[in-house]
Amino acid sequence: MIIACYLRNRIVYLPTNAKTEAGYYMHQDPVLVIPASNTDGLRRALTEMTAKGNPIIPTPTRATFPPPVLPKYAGVKSSAAFARGASRWSIEERKGVFQIIGCEALGRGAWREDPEQKIDFPPGTSVDVVIDRMIAIFQEAARN
């Protein structure tokens, strides 16, 4: 499971992160939008996302590839405009082991994992502990 998490202008965006039949992930509707200051709302949204996991969808063709979903929720025109001033993390779970991975912007709406922003949780850590840590990261980043 991979949950993509974005913070932009003190607002958290949690897109549905679908896995294509080809094996790559892409954002799709619905996107949950919550102020970073709303701890209970963030907890509910992250709990919903982890419970839902990553739906499997058919791999879109070049002709059917959908437009990016995040810009419309933020009221901007492009992924690059959304990424300006945004921060990105992912919550990943593999075989019951969680990680939070921070990303750095590469420009034009592209991101890459930042090894300096990786938090590895010990096996057996509950999803609630991971969610609480992610909320703390959002709220600290929103204050800065």
Question: In this predicted structure, what is the pLDDT of residue 107?
Answer: 76
CB 44 within 8 A of CB 14: no
In the chain, what are the domains? 2-143 (3.40.1590.10)
Residue 105: which pLDDT band, with cuts at 50, 70 and 90?
Answer: confident
State the Cα–Cα distance between residues 135 and 98, nearest whole angstrom.
15
The pLDDT confidence band at residue 106, using thresholds 50, 70 and 90, is: confident
Determine the Cα–Cα distance for residues 46 and 100; give it in Å rounded to an integer: 13
- pLDDT tens, 25-53? 999 999 999 999 999 999 999 999 999 99
Other C-beta atoms closer than 10 Å to the C-beta of 9 total 10
The pLDDT mean for the chain works out to 95
Q: Is the peptide bond before 30 cis (omega within 30 degrees of 0)?
A: yes
